[in-house]
Amino acid sequence: MKNAFPFLFILALCVSGFSSAGFSQGSGAGPSGKLFIIGGGKRPPALVQAMVDASGLDTVGYAIILPMASSEPDTAAWYGIRQFTELGLPAEKFRALNFEKGSYPKAAVDSLRGARLIYITGGDQNRFMDAVLGSPVYDAIHQAYEVGATIAGTSAGAAVMSRKMITGNEHKHPEYTGDFRTIEAENMEIKEGLGLLPEAIVDQHFIYRMRMNRLITVALEHPGTACIGIDESTAILVEGEEATVVGDYQVILLRNPHEGRIQDGLLGGRGMELSVLLPGEVFKLR
């Protein structure tokens, strides 16, 4: 397994025909692609198949796996590809590209731009954005999305979809415990993500890891933004201004229409909207 990823990386650069997926140009009315955002955890075959169906990968095109969020990108790439080949899709459809900060080979970027499906693995969203932000890779992901590609990600790969990205760090409680026990002002760290969801913020592993306090905090400090908590083994499929819940469990949607209030460092607010959405339900992003 340790040697598989470098081989895939070299192969992705050398195989001809991987720079164009045959997409038509966008109309200018917004991206023509889709987002498939997974809340982490196990990815049952039905969930992976839904991702394939959304992208049309079973009939045309190829997929690029981006494992830069992982501290073990070789392993993340291997498992990322295996989830698709276990459905019977041919391995030749998949390439893994581990871009490093400051190193963006043109052939690899061109391959990314032409992909039918771009899949971002889990790990640390900060690590991923450190390699991608302000780079040709960032631009290529957006260009692929504009002309019809499906951009998918799980866990950290879900968090990076937002423009305002939850990093997982707390300013006032820097020692990470996994518990978000307060609703405090100026505590949750937000950085710039990919911006594919410009008016929403995504949180992942949501119900399973009891992250409601974190999302409430973010919603209070970012009024007017759709704050979306996606549970494990669950995804949202974003098409235009609508999102559909896919998978086994629920999605939490918080909307805060008003500015939050601060008293002695504590955040407060009234009139927040809360929805608990079941598989198959559709909601508006705006």
Q: Which amino acid would we find at residue 103?
A: S
Query: Which residues have CB under 8 Å from 266's CB, separation 6+?
Result: 182, 183, 184, 185
Tokens coding 237: 């499929």
* Kind of pairing between the strands at 63-66 and 117-120: parallel
- Return the pLDDT at 176: 81
Residue carrying structure tokens 């490093």 = 100
At residue 11, the pLDDT reads: 40
Report the pLDDT value the prediction gives residue 260, as an integer from 0 to 100: 86
pLDDT computed for residue 19 by the predictor? 47
Distance of CA 248 to the CA centre of its chain: 18
Look at the domain 32-284 and name its fold.
Rossmann fold (3.40.50)
Our measurement of the distance from residue 241's CA atom to the centroid of its chain's CA atoms, rounded to an integer in Å, reads 17
Q: Are 130 and 138 in contact (CB under 8 A)?
A: no
- How many helices (H) and strands (E) the chain has is answered by 8, 16
Whether the CB-CB separation of 258 and 224 falls below 8 Å is answered with no
CA distances to 150, 228, 248 from 251, rounded to whole Å, are 20, 7, 10
Q: What is the pLDDT of residues 213-234, one digit of tens each?
A: 999 999 999 999 999 999 999 9
SS3 231: coil
Task: Give me the long-range contacts of 55-59 (CB less than 8 A, separation at least 24).
Answer: 55/116, 55/117, 55/149, 55/150, 55/152, 56/116, 56/150, 57/84, 57/89, 57/93, 57/116, 57/117, 57/150, 58/89
Q: Are 229 and 254 in contact (CB under 8 A)?
A: yes
The pLDDT of residue 180 is 87
Tell me if 258 sits within 8 A of 269, measured CB to CB: yes
Structure tokens of 144?
């692929």
Q: Residue 177: what pLDDT?
A: 81
Residue ranges in the chain modelled with pLDDT below 50: 1-17, 19-22, 24-27
Whether the Cβ atoms of residue 274 and residue 252 lie closer than 8 Å to each other: yes
pLDDT tens, residue by residue, 3-22: 444 434 434 443 334 544 44
